[in-house]
Structure 1
């Protein structure tokens, strides 16, 4: 944590949930800048220390990290060759998690929240090529609680003619994100390899 008063009080805000935004509100705005970290700082660090090609990157995430992967790809057309996610938060301005986090980090102006909402961002995504793969467990408690809202994202992608493969996985054994991800991670690696090797 950043030793900010209250940052450890809730699992869905603060240390446990930065929501991949660049916060604009006190006391978060100095340290809670995960969007810029993932977009700028982390790639520089990786490229400086590993034999990578900065022109060929993809991005992936799970749950809130899936939200982060989607918004990073959609806010930066052409930067990422592909994007995939497991159980992403797809429309945070419409769910309680998102309203709490985005309001706390960005203030009460909902138009600022839209800049970090994949469903809103896809509506203005340019005609750049981007293929999206999403796996979602059917029995995910957060899906049934209305926190993930993939249907809203799929509808927006369909309207914009952006290819999205959404797979609602039926198996009931995915009580742990570890087993869910371990079961389908090879498909995600192949998805990214298809574009990174092109």
Structure 2
């Protein structure tokens, strides 16, 4: 399963080179609906995954994902290329998710069905793998899950995650490695809980 997480991180980084995403955002700023559709196609799983990790509700995460791309359409003209278009996109999604949490003032537990609805586009991940991975990720703390999802699914580097979550880089690194050890223990069935 750890190999699956590593493969997913490589796929996310390979599928979303910064130059191509910045070109798409530039096209969106010029009014290209085709570029918006392409950006959506390439990044929807990462945006939805991040929203789901915060909201723990599939329907609300879908709403935030849609709102993210609406906001991207409106904000694209003000985007300034800095080599981090995915971080910009995920910051929009995170801010919308946090706003929804503040407004709702409640957090629901994530059900198995909602996690299984989180589709990760990977040829190496079967439906059974998704179910097992979702159950294991559900046993991590919110912060641990955010760090793992941002790295393994969204393809962000640890220093980008640290900036994104407002944590120190050593904290992100240690929490990531502890989370992987915890996941390994859970997936191997040696969990003492």
- State the TM-score, normalizing by the size of structure 2: 0.28
- State the TM-score, normalizing by the size of structure 1: 0.27
Query: Which of the pair is proportionally richer in strand?
Result: 1
The one of the two structures with greater contact order (alpha-carbon pairs below 8 A, sep at least 6) is 2
